[in-house]
Structure 1
Amino acid sequence: METILKRDLRRIFQNKYVVFMGDSNMRSIYKDFILLLQENKLLNDSDRKAGGNKESICGDILLEGGIYKNLASGIEYEEKRVFLANIFLVKFIFLTRCQNDVTSRIFEEFKTDSEKADLVVINSTLWDTSRYGENGEKDFKRNLPLCFDNLRAATSPTTIILWLTALPISAEPNAAVFDEKYRPENKYWRTQFLHINAFSAELAKKKNCEVLDAHYLFRQHPELRDTDGCHWNANGHRLITSYIAQTVSLIWHVPYIDRNPVDHKERELHRVCYRIINSENENSIMRTLNGENSQGITDFDLNTYLATHIPISNETSNEQNSDRIGAMIGKLNETDRRILNLMDYYEKQ
């Protein structure tokens, strides 16, 4: 894909109010976005890795949280940033969960704000599912519909809510966001994310939100991922910015890269999910997502399986856990095994 340049990003988003809500990956997407509004440069490593520990990054301002509250990077963490320059207003809000007291307060602020966002880009999958114990996935699937409903109620009917699916992680991620006790089996979060992304993407479309399938677009680009197996390098974030800009340009009927708007077929090709699920196929889709469990939990629940069958130990690598890994592979269904093999293939390229 041809990456976007400063002039085209500024043309698409002039006089627009954009909000990014999510984790550290979303914060880096926000930073790349505001940097490109100013100049045709990629994020340097210092700015890419910076967060609430800095009062200003790429010309923005830390409004709340971070160093102002002396909060560590736990589930109580908060951070709000803003970039304001002439005809651009861009905000970032750190989320540790899609629906909690923090998001409720934020949505109330959205309601009373005289300026309504034109675009909200949101994802919190990684934190929701990895930092809240064995019920993380179950709680996420219960909370996400509330998040979409409350966010829609707090914004304008013309606001575009763009759900990003969770970006793919490597075979053995070691980012701080993952709970220490599950790190020996972190490679199996890869299949969990496929199930969870399928659920969240279809739910977002049902709630009349747009979906950008970042997982699909980036799982063939492991070379753009950082060494911690979870975050992405500067080129990766510029590509994400380009996909977001392309998605929005299609919705707003603004040419991308200063060309004629792409047609309906290209919109579908680039996974811009805009169709509304009608009542005829809604039940079929939800049954597919939920399996036989009426609560909407995937058949293979990593947290439950680990807690029930695999004792916590001091082992630190998958090579030291061959029996445990074999047991887990045996628990996966045939589709998941094929997915793991495919992901391993991409990782080795």
Structure 2
Amino acid sequence: MSSRSFLYWRTGALVFVGFLSLPLMMTVAATTGDIPVSFATAVRAITNGLGITHYDLPAVEAGIVWQYRLSRALMAVSSGGGLALCGLVLQSLLRNPLADPYLLGISAGASTGAVSVMLLGIGGGAITTGVGAFSGACLAFMLIVLLSGGMRDNAARIILAGIAGTQLFNALTSYIVSTAANAEQSRGVMFWLLGSLSGVRWADALLCFAVAAMGLLTVICYARSLDTFAFGTEVSATLGTRVLRVRVILLLTTALITAVIVSAIGAVGFVGLVIPHITRMIVGHRHLVTIPLAFLAGAHFMLLADLVSRTPINHQVLPIGVVTALVGAPVFALILYRSREK
């Protein structure tokens, strides 16, 4: 067996195991919380909700599993996979190992757009939070393009532009919250900005899942084009890649995914930075194999982070962004250290 065939076989096995383990982990997540639910009860509540079975279950436990915990688990899967996918795309397009939606200011811009709609009432009710988040994400990215001189292959300039954009939009968000929100609204928005899966319902989870799945299919279609970007835009164009078209489509896709996730659960950092690097360490740099594995790894990572956020303190849930940052920050520091040595 050739090395390439072995790589595809191993990746296929990992993806297969990942798909099989996701429903199991989601069911485990549905059993965890202030009110413990047995695994068997959770399975029966889920199959009842899907219309497969009709078990007679306590209304409270069935409602908690189906209405609250399972939708939360689906949101964790969708947001984790979506953010990992965005990080992988941005790192490949920009040829920058430190690129992700959080670091480049896209998450911050989406947060500003969402908060503007929620607190300032921009659009008079005609604009949803998701549309506001998408507009903010696109505006943030346009600013970074302007500051970095057209997103040329200059890692330091792009990162500096991203940091500047992040600080600007974070400041705008803080200003809006400070001037337009009362104490209760301010507390809720600030908790949401740290990243929170609390309050997620099926409408949010299904929308996020649909957008993340659409983004996954779109990125897979451009997997071979992403491979060529590793050699630079000039070589990529020589190899037949329509560089501008691919960049626009994929960057808009990442902006849309990020905006939908931020509008639902707030800004969650480091997922898009950490997961792509771990994936490449396992299966290499071929995007046809790294894309599905990164998506699944991000989904599993966010599910685990959600479980951790609900277990340390009784009757209190940590913001999901706090848990991801505790893992992501050391990895980010390690990447910076290694890039300094090269």
Q: What is the TM-score with the length of structure 1 in the denominator? A: 0.32
Q: What is the TM-score with the length of structure 2 in the denominator? A: 0.32
Task: Tell me which of the two structures has the higher relative contact order, counting C-alpha pairs closer than 8 angstroms and 6 or more residues apart.
Answer: 2
